Amino acid sequence: MTDAGEPAGPGAATGAGAATGAGAATGAGEPSEAGASLRAGETLGPRGDAGDGGARILVVNAGSSSLKLRVLDAADAVVATADLPAPRETADVGAIAETIAGFGDIAAVGHRIVHGGARYSGPVRLDAEVEANLRALTDLAPLHQPKSLAALTAVNAALPTVPAVACFDTAFHAGMPAAATTYAIPPEWRKRWALRKYGFHGLSHAYASRRAAAMVGRPVEDLRIVTCHLGAGASLAAILGGRSVDTTMGFTPLDGLVMATRSGSIDPGLVLWLEGHVGMPPEELAATLEHRSGLLGLAGTADMRAILAANASGDETAALAIGVYLHRLRASIAAMVAALGGLDILVFTGGVGEHAPAIRERVVAGLAFLGAGVDSATNAAVAGDAEITAAGSRVRTLVVVAREDVEIAREVRAVLGLPAVARLWDECRSQPA
């Protein structure tokens, strides 16, 4: 199951500014160091002017299946793109350098980093000290952080004098109230190991909430929004006044909703029982809950499209998988609404959120008591950003294409003081309720 906009497989590349040859491309939280000046040895890449798109930002997103490279101009248009094989402990420096060389001039780089820990509550300029701090956080995200850091090392080798910014999936949630982030465990545990709810997918939630506010023509600060990032990984965020006040993922991205291969929330006593009474090693427990659970464990496949098709053919296993998925999703949305004290906008984003109208309709059908409803015909015909609210519904329901690259570029510009032209979230397309 892939998110919207992903090419068919690693190595695919499209867009302008392409080179030829192997590996060639063919083609918010508040910043913690806003306006920081250049350091010795650094140079901004050629920034151009309004006629050629202005400062071009390279966005680096090291995922589980591929390394996504996107170049955005000052108006957030994607002017070059390439997908390479995902890095492991190290990345293919030569292939990455050759690909980046085909992109042309780059003013600055933005890296998606999964975990910023308690130290980083916003984007930060990368230097040796910051990189060392990020490596120290690897134990908190052992499946994701090494890939991001391997990509960081490779891109820095290709662009050693171009300033780079780390943009964190955890930062958007860093300001959540203590009541939402604190686990009911002994304080010595919490302090010694920094055990708390961190939350993830923050870049996606931040962009989706801002874009949704623009679509309805209202300031994000005036709205109560629940964003549903539904992809291979899945999480919700409760957003009040433009800030996250609760989310479904916790200390790790394993918590919360049922996902493609991750279990989501389960009774910790069950895990303790498997370890203590069955003798299951911690490594096997971790691998099973991360890679062999979720939709895959319920239906034998992690692909929501296949599960929906099987359900339509009367497959009982598929029906159960969808039932479990929807039950957890509806209950969690209701919990987010409780944290907000009401709901103005419900947003679907991510691969499933954008491309599974049946899931959207069935989720919202169970939320009628909150004043939500979708128009079936509009919902079935969605392409891109759209409103699918049913006539007479108090809550507006939207579909927003996931654009973490836009959010990262925004944060890079804020930290480095780079100019921008019209951004996607400034395009207010107010629609009648």
Contacts of 217 (CB under 8 A, 6+ apart): 428, 429, 430, 431
Phi, psi of 289 (to 5 degrees): -70, -30
| CA neighbours closer than 13 Å in the CB half-sphere of residue 98 | 15
What is the chain's percent helix, strand, coil content, to nearest 5? 40, 15, 45
Q: Is 169 a catalytic residue?
A: yes
Residue 73: closest CA among 61, 57, 59, 60: 57
Cα 404-98-418 angle, rounded to 5 deg: 45
Distance (Å, rounded) from C-alpha 28 to C-alpha 408? 8
Among candidates 408, 333, 415, which has minimal Cα distance to 169? 408
Task: Tell me the sheet residues that pair with 230.
Answer: 234
Given the residues 3, 83, 169, 246, select the one marked as catalytic: 169
Copy the structure tokens of residue 190.
Answer: 């919490």
Query: Could you tell me if 236 and 248 are in contact, meaning their C-beta atoms sit under 8 angstroms apart?
Result: yes
Return the CA Rg of the chain. 21
Residue 20 CB contacts under 8 Å (≥ 6 apart), including other chains: 102
The 224-230 sheet, strands edge to edge: 243-247, 234-240, 224-230, 345-349, 396-399, 386-387
Question: Is residue 160 classed exposed, middle or buried when 0-12, 13-18 and 19+ CB atoms within 10 A define those classes?
Answer: exposed
The residue to which tokens 């992903």 are assigned: 6
- CA within 13 Å, CB half, 374: 28
Compute how many other C-beta atoms are within 10 angstroms of the C-beta atom of residue 267: 8
- For residue 161, give both structure tokens: 């004098």
Q: Supply the residues annotated as catalytic.
A: 169
